[in-house]
Structures are given as structure tokens and as C-alpha cells.
């Protein structure tokens, strides 16, 4: 294999981390076009709450497609005063067909003096498209929460 045909693993890694960061900045800035752009249009996104969390039934489910993910985020976060999604430790593994990424997440959701904070992990499968790396499958695993889910669920 020639040097020009060798994949630039550092570049791929950097582009994937930038994509994951673009998603959370999109959420916090209410830039839902940006949110949609990080996913493929047939991406499956699943929210899974730890079994001990009673509010999991209200938030769990599967959404298909970047546009649908963005619209769901708009409905959930549109009435909030502020959110901040913090990314923690990240791992990216390139494969023959794309990449897998694991990212720790802590998300703060605020409405007035009320809050709902969550902690968990994004588990992503990514594919390279003509427009760059995109998430083709995401599982958000919520491990803990504090505050009231009604902060997010209230109309």
C-alpha cells in the first residue's frame, strides 16, 4: 500500500471527536440543524435508562434519522432555560467498516430554579460518508440522574 493510500488514523480520530462535540454544542445552542447533521438519515438512536431509574419509561425509546433526532431534541429542550452537555472520557476504535466511539456524558437541564441532571455514556457506531463521518447508530445509556425529570417533561 502506498503512503497516499494509508488512512490517516489521527485525522479520522480528530474528525470523529469534532463530530461528537458538534452534537452537544448543537443541543446547547439550540442549533437543531447541526444536531441533525451529525447523524445519517437512517441512524437509529436509542435511549436506555438503568433499570433502577423510574423515569426511564418516559425517556426510553428509539428514534430513526437525524431529522427526527433533532426534532425530538427541539421538543424536549425548547422550553428549558439552559442546558449544558459535558463530554468526559472518550474512546474511538476504527474498524474495517467504520468506527465505534464511547463517550461519557453529564447533561445539565435547567428551567427556573428546577434542574434535572443525567450521567451516562454515548455508544456510537459511525460511518464515513461523502460529507465526512456520521453517526449511524447511537445508544445513550443513562446510569444516574438527580433532580426532577418534570423539568424536561413539563410543557
* pLDDT tens across the length of the chain (155 residues): 334 444 688 899 999 999 999 999 999 999 999 999 999 999 999 999 999 999 988 888 899 999 999 999 999 999 999 999 999 999 999 999 999 999 999 999 999 999 999 999 999 999 999 999 999 999 999 999 999 999 999 88
Q: How many CA atoms lie less than 13 Å away from 138 in the CB half-sphere?
A: 24
Q: What's the predicted TM-score (pTM) here?
A: 0.91
**Dihedral Cα 8, 12, 18, 23, nearest 10 deg:** 170
Amino acid at each position: 500500500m502506498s503512503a497516499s493510500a494509508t488512512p490517516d488514523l489521527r485525522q479520522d480520530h480528530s474528525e470523529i471527536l469534532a463530530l461528537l462535540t458538534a452534537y452537544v454544542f448543537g443541543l446547547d445552542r439550540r442549533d437543531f440543524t447541526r444536531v441533525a447533521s451529525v447523524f445519517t438519515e437512517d441512524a437509529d438512536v436509542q435511549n436506555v435508562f438503568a433499570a433502577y431509574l423510574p423515569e426511564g419509561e418516559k425517556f426510553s425509546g428509539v428514534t430513526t434519522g437525524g431529522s427526527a433526532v433533532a426534532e425530538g431534541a427541539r421538543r424536549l429542550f425548547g422550553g428549558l432555560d439552559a442546558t449544558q452537555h459535558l463530554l468526559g472520557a472518550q474512546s474511538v476504535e476504527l474498524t474495517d467498516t467504520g468506527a465505534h466511539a464511547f463517550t461519557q456524558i453529564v447533561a445539565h437541564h435547567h428551567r427556573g430554579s428546577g434542574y434535572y441532571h443525567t450521567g451516562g455514556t454515548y455508544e456510537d457506531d459511525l460511518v464515513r460518508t461523502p460529507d465526512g463521518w456520521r453517526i449511524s447508530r447511537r445508544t445513550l445509556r443513562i446510569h444516574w440522574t438527580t433532580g426532577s425529570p418534570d423539568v424536561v417533561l413539563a410543557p
